[in-house]
């Protein structure tokens, strides 16, 4: 079912409901008012009849009948002769008729609720197509239990209601027909922009990501079209980003293959040389040292690559981590430093909010990179500090090593990127340590900031959240 038809059907249903509600309220109030007027008139006639019968009864000579019921019967007959349009009846002891001009179709069992009531009663009934209002009142006659019944014809009231109902139905049918025609045209005009949206969505689904709706109106459909175009633009950007990611993935695989192929080829050459058995002791040691060194480097490389791949599958813990505890754990992981740059740790008493193991890996990688950069300096020095600044914990790893050219800084965290590949491999570098650090920083809502001067050293900074900044439950 098209939206145009749904709108038309909904409006017609609402219009029909509104007309029905108005008709029920208006006709109901009119009918209730007419019925109340007719009932008031019937009650007034009933009281007049009661008064007139009592006057006739008490003014008649007692010689006319020795029995009170006989006098009542004669009084009723005389009154009926003078008022032929009045329909009434008199009953004695709840069941014995004294006088009755009621329709013959009214059975005494139908009148039982009124006859057995000692007070005033009223009842609506329908007989032979006529709507009657029956009223009952006890007639105060000494020594007798007499009930006066009157029947008022309310048929004209009900006929007037039925005529009003037919008139309303005809008017409602005309209003619905006219409303349906107008609503169909209006809904067709309102939903026309949706056809443009549907056409554009089909084109985009077919691969035309540059397609736009071009609908410009000042209503919700115009806003929807604007958001749709924005979404289409985002989809186009996402597709382009996926293409770029695919390209980078291919480059990653190519670089990964190269990183494995180069040492494996050399190790295979040394292995063949050792198998020949013609090498002297010095050559055997050289070959064994190279194989051991490259095997250790590949092992470290595999651990870091595995850690990097697992980053996207875990959520970091959000726990308090003291900078002193963190630095102590890094110092233990570094072991005894017998040669190379000295490492100085300067905690500021900050309590970080994060994953201790991930933060330890981050600082450990940064410190190792810093010490590697200082290998060619006799006075090499690495300083690791943490202090509170602007409501966050500023973690800094600074060295006085060889430094990094400015044009290389933006690529430092790319997988397998090395400023000096030969020196990095010689020192056991894998090319993914800083990539791992960048991902850990991102998981903690921050980023690495590099500052470096060639020949003077490098400084790496990142601002981590403090424990007090993060809502948490007290242990």
- Give the pLDDT of residue 123: 87
Task: Assess whether pLDDT exceeds 80 at residue 165.
Answer: yes
Neighbours of 12 (CB within 10 A): 16
Helix (H) or strand (E) holding 100, with range, is: strand 96-100
- Give the pLDDT of residue 338: 63
Q: Which residue has the higher pLDDT, 306 or 58?
A: 58
pLDDT band at residue 320 using 50, 70 and 90 as cut-offs: very high
Please give the average per-residue pLDDT across 201-207, as a whole number: 83
- Give the pLDDT of residue 97: 84
Q: Which residue has the higher pLDDT, 453 or 472?
A: 453
Please give the average per-residue pLDDT across 184-208, as a whole number: 80
Helix (H) or strand (E) holding 153, with range, is: strand 144-153
Flag the least confident range among 73-77, 112-116, 375-379, 424-428.
424-428
Q: Give yes or no for a contact between 437 and 330, defined as CB atoms under 8 angstroms apart.
A: no
Task: Assess whether pLDDT exceeds 80 at residue 278.
Answer: no
- Give the pLDDT of residue 57: 78
Partners of 462 in the beta sheet?
Answer: 395
pLDDT band at residue 392 using 50, 70 and 90 as cut-offs: very high
Task: Assess whether pLDDT exceeds 60 at residue 35.
Answer: yes
Please check whether the domain covering 3-161 is classified as CATH 1.10.645.10.
no
Task: Assess whether pLDDT exceeds 60 at residue 425.
Answer: no
Please give the average per-residue pLDDT across 6-12, as a whole number: 84
Mean pLDDT of the chain: 81
Please give the average per-residue pLDDT across 243-266, as a whole number: 67
Task: Assess whether pLDDT exceeds 50 at residue 176.
Answer: yes
**Residue 18: alpha-carbon gap to chain centroid:** 31
Q: Which residue has the higher pLDDT, 16 or 190?
A: 16
- Give the pLDDT of residue 62: 59
Task: Assess whether pLDDT exceeds 90 at residue 421.
Answer: no
Of 251, 250, 256, 255, give the one whose Cα is nearest residue 306.
Answer: 256
Please give the average per-residue pLDDT across 207-221, as a whole number: 79
Taking the C-alpha atoms of residue 9 and residue 331, their distance in angstroms, rounded to an integer, is 76
pLDDT band at residue 275 using 50, 70 and 90 as cut-offs: confident
Please give the average per-residue pLDDT across 187-213, as a whole number: 80
Q: Indicate the class that CATH gives domain 314-469.
A: alpha beta
- Give the pLDDT of residue 382: 93
**Residue 19: alpha-carbon gap to chain centroid:** 35
Of 105, 160, 155, 158, give the one whose Cα is nearest residue 127.
Answer: 105
Please give the average per-residue pLDDT across 413-434, as a whole number: 59
Please give the average per-residue pLDDT across 270-279, as a whole number: 75
Number of H helices, E strands in the chain: 11, 12
- Rounded to the nearest 10 degrees, the angle between the axes of helix 192-205 and helix 155-190 is 40
Flag the least confident range among 42-56, 158-172, 284-298, 399-413.
284-298
Distances (CA, A) of 258 to 133, 170, 251, 254: 107, 88, 10, 6
Strand, coil or helix: 93? coil
Residue where the block lists tokens 């060889």: 402
Structure tokens at 372: 């590697």
- Give the pLDDT of residue 91: 87
Q: Which residue has the higher pLDDT, 307 or 420?
A: 307
pLDDT band at residue 111 using 50, 70 and 90 as cut-offs: confident
List, as own/partner pairs, every contact residues 363-366 make where C-beta atoms lie below 8 angstroms and the sequence separation is at least 24, other chains included. 363/326, 363/327, 363/330, 363/395, 363/397, 364/330, 364/333, 364/334, 365/433, 365/434, 365/436, 365/437, 366/397, 366/437, 366/460
- Give the pLDDT of residue 327: 93
Structure tokens at 194: 């949706």
Structure tokens at 216: 């410009």
Task: Assess whether pLDDT exceeds 90 at residue 128.
Answer: no
Task: Assess whether pLDDT exceeds 60 at residue 264.
Answer: yes
Percent of the chain with pLDDT over 70: 84
pLDDT band at residue 300 using 50, 70 and 90 as cut-offs: low
Q: Give yes or no for a contact between 384 and 423, defined as CB atoms under 8 angstroms apart.
A: no
Task: Assess whether pLDDT exceeds 60 at residue 279.
Answer: yes
């Amino acid at each position: 079912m098209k939206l145009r038809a749904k709108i038309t059907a909904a409006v017609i249903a609402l219009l029909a409901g509104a007309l029905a509600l108005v008709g029920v309220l208006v006709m109901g109030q009119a009918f209730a008012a007419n019925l109340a007027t007719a009932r008031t008139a019937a009650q007034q006639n009933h009281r007049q009849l009661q008064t007139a019968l009592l006057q006739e009864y008490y003014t008649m000579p007692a010689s006319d009948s020795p029995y009170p019921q006989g006098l009542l019967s004669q009084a009723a007959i005389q009154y009926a002769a003078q008022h032929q349009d009045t329909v009434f009846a008199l009953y004695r002891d709840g069941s014995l008729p004294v006088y009755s001009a009621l329709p013959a179709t009214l059975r005494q069992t139908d009148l039982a609720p009124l006859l057995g009531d000692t007070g005033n009663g009223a009842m609506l009934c329908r007989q032979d197509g006529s709507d009657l209002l029956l009223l009952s009142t006890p007639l105060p006659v000494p020594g007798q239990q007499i009930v006066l019944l009157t029947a008022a014809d309310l048929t004209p009231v009900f006929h007037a209601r039925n005529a009003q109902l037919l008139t309303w139905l005809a008017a409602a049918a005309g209003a619905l027909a006219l409303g349906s025609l107008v609503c169909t045209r209006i809904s067709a005009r309102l939903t026309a922009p949706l056809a443009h949206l549907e056409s554009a969505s089909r084109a985009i689904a077919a691969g035309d990501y540059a397609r736009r709706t071009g609908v410009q109106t000042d209503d919700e459909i115009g806003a929807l079209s604007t958001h749709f175009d924005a979404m289409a633009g985002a989809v186009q950007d996402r597709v382009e980003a996926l293409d770029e990611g695919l390209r980078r993935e291919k480059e990653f695989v190519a670089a990964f293959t190269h990183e494995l192929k180069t040492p494996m080829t050399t190790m295979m050459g040394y292995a063949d040389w050792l198998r020949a058995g013609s090498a002297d002791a010095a050559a055997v040691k050289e070959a064994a040292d190279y194989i051991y060194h490259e095997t250790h480097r590949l092992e470290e490389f595999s651990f870091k690559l595995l850690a990097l791949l697992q980053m996207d599958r875990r959520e970091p813990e959000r726990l308090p981590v003291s900078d002193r505890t963190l630095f102590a754990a890094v110092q233990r992981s570094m072991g005894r430093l017998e040669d190379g740059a000295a490492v100085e740790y300067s905690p500021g008493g900050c309590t970080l909010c994060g994953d201790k193991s991930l933060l330890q890996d981050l600082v450990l990688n940064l410190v190792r990179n810093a010490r590697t950069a200082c290998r060619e300096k006799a006075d090499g020095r690495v300083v690791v500090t943490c202090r509170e600044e602007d409501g966050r914990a500023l973690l800094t790893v600074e060295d006085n090593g060889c430094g990094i050219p400015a044009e290389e800084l933006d690529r430092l965290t790319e997988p397998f990127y090395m400023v000096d590949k030969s020196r990095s491999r010689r020192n056991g570098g894998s090319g993914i340590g800083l990539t791992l650090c960048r991902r850990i920083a991102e998981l903690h809502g921050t980023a690495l900031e590099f500052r470096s001067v060639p020949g003077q050293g490098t400084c790496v900074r990142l601002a981590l959240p403090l424990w007090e900044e993060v809502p948490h439950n007290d242990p």
